[in-house]
Amino acid sequence: MKIGLFPLNLVLFPESIYPLHIFEDKYKNLMNDCIENKSKFGVIFTNGDNIAEYGCTAKIIDIFTKYPDGKIDLSVIGCDKFKLHSYEEGQRLYLEGEIEIISDTEEPINEKLFDECVELFNYITNKIPVFRMQQITKEDLTGRLASYYFAQKAGLIGKQKQYLLEMNTENERLAYLKEHLELIKPSVSKAIEIEKIVRNDGYLSAGDLK
């Protein structure tokens, strides 16, 4: 499957919503092609030198502003994880990649692990002054992958987010996040520092838009 690629210094997760300001000509082309064809594109993490092996397909869900010079403000939602097999520059200047959609290995959710992640997440976010994130319940996450919700807001750095994206089960991701949240928990007294790392890194979730 061939798809247009948008390498960025961020990791887009399935089910997460992210705003983009499009200003480079090649990515104007990419967005306009996706709008015209109602197609998806691939967001893939890059540190400037290398492109990751795994990324996430994205669908445009809202166009805020189209500027006279062709720049666009829009938001996208992450759809499916993919593995990148090869890529090259296409006729429209942006990269085009051959990808394979990757699905999770199916297994029952570890409810104890799920509960522990919810409890840790709520404990930490409740301790942050000024910026109060809404407490989350298991019911709020019905029909969604909880790990991707937590991962947007847990203060992970880019490499950690990419590592989590490449995991193939929900339980594996939840276990990784539980360990990370347990490391953060003793530092909640340092409220200002914690607030900075938990602030989304620009991510929005569907619940934030309600």
Residue 13 burial (CB count, 10 A): 24
**Is residue 52 in a domain?**
yes
Question: Do 80 and 125 sit in the same domain of this protein?
Answer: no
pLDDT of 79 = 97
Helices (H), 43-169: 111-126, 146-153, 158-165
- Residue in 170, 189, 190, 188 with CA at minimum distance from that of residue 178: 170
Residue 186 sits in which domain range?
111-205
Residue 195: pLDDT band with limits 50, 70, 90:
low
Question: Do 137 and 96 sit in the same domain of this protein?
Answer: no
Residue 131: pLDDT band with limits 50, 70, 90:
very low
pLDDT of 142 = 77
**Average pLDDT for residues 120-146, to the nearest whole number?**
77
pLDDT of 92 = 95
Share of the chain above pLDDT 70, in %: 86
**Is residue 130 in a domain?**
yes
Domains in the chain, number: 2
Instruction: Tell which of 66, 101, 136 closes a domain.
Output: 101
Rounded to an integer, what distance in angstroms lies between the CA atom of residue 194 and that of residue 135?
16
The DSSP element (H or E) to which 88 belongs, if any, is: strand 72-89
Question: Do 94 and 118 sit in the same domain of this protein?
Answer: no
Inform me whether the pLDDT recorded for 179 exceeds 90. yes
pLDDT of 130 = 46
pLDDT digits (tens, 9 = 90+) for 70-111: 999 999 999 999 999 999 999 999 999 999 999 999 899 999
Question: Do 115 and 36 sit in the same domain of this protein?
Answer: no
**Is residue 106 in a domain?**
no
The DSSP element (H or E) to which 173 belongs, if any, is: helix 170-184
